[in-house]
Structure 1
Amino acid sequence: MSLNLINRPLIADRAAPAVLILEIVQILRDIKHSVVFRGKSGINPTGFIATVYLMVVKAVPAVYEKGQISTFSFGITFAKRNINHYILDVYHARNYHAAVGFEDGTKNNYDDEKIQAGFHNKPPPRELA
C-alpha cells in the first residue's frame, strides 16, 4: 500500500487565502481513494477541510456540514483559534441573501483580509456577507 502525502497547511487563527482554499477544493475533487485529514496544531482546520469536502464533493446541505468543526472550542465562533468556524459562518450569512455554492462563493466573494479583520473585530458574520 502506498500513501500520497499532500500538505496544504491551514492555520487555526489566520484566514486562508482564497487560492489555498480553492486548491484544497480541487485536491478533494481529484481524490479517487480513501483519504485521511490530519491537523498538526488543531482540530478545527481538519474539520474545516472535512466540511468543505462534504459541501463540495458530497453535496451535503450546508445546514448539516458544520458539525465537522470540533466542539474543541465548544462552538464559540470567536475562540482564539477558531477562524475556520467564522469563515463558514460568513459563508452561511451570504447564503441567507442568495444561495451560492461554497466554491463559487470562495472564487467571487471571499476576502481573507476582511475575514481576518472581522474575526478580530467581532462583528456578526452577516455584516461581512
Structure 2
Amino acid sequence: MSLNLINRPLIADRAAPAVLILEIVQILRDIKHPVVFRGKSGINPTGFIATVYLMVVKAVPAVYEKGQISTFSFGITFAKRNINHYILDVYHARNYHAAVGFEDGTKNNYDDEKIQAGFHNKPPPRELA
C-alpha cells in the first residue's frame, strides 16, 4: 500500500484564502479512498476539512456536519484558535437567508480578510452574512 501525502496548510487562527479552500475542495473530490486527514498542530483545521468533505463530497446537510469541529475549544466560536468554526458559522448565517452550497458560497461570497476582522472584533456571524 502506498501513501500519497498532500499538504495544504490551514492555520487555526487565520482565515484561509478562498483559493486555498477551493483547492482543498477539489482535492477532496478527486482523492482516492481511504483518506486520513491530519493536522500538524491543531485539530480544528482537520475538523474543518472533514466538515467540508461531508458538505461538498458526501452532501451531508449543513446542520449535521459541524460536529466534526473538535470540542478541544469546547465549541466556543471565539476561542483563540477557532477561526475555522467561525468560518462555518458565517456560512450557516448566509444559508439562513438563501441556501447556497459551500463551494459556491466560497467562490462568490467568501472574503478571508472580512472573516479575519470579524473573528477578532467578534460580531455575530449573521452580521458578515
Name the TM-score class by shorter chain. Answer: over 0.9
Give the 5 Å matches for 1:1-129. Answer: 1-129=1-129
The alignment-based identity, stated in percent, is 99
Structure 2 gaps, min length 5: none
Q: CA deviation at 1:33?
A: 1.6
CA distance in 2, matches of 1:32, 1:113: 33
Residues of 2 paired with 1:75 and 1:33: CA distance?
A: 29
> Given the two structures, how large is their TM-score scaled by the length of structure 1?
0.99
| Deviation for aligned residue 1:32 | 2.1
Cα distance in structure 2, aligned partners of 1:75 and 1:14:
17
**Structure 1 residues 66-115: Cα deviation after superposition (integer angstroms, max 9, x where no partner):** 00000000010000000000000000000000000000000000000000
Query: C-alpha distance in 2, partners of 1:34/1:28?
Result: 11
Distance 2:33 2:63 in 1: 26
Q: Tell me, which stretches of 5 or more residues in structure 1 are unaligned?
A: none
Once residues 91 and 21 of structure 1 are traced to their aligned partners in structure 2, the CA distance between those partners, rounded to angstroms, is: 13
Length-normalised TM-score, structure 2 = 0.99
Shift of 1:31: 1.1
Superposed CA RMSD in Å reads 0.3
- Distance across 2 between alignment mates of 1:91 and 1:50: 16
- The alignment partner of 2:88 has SS state of helix
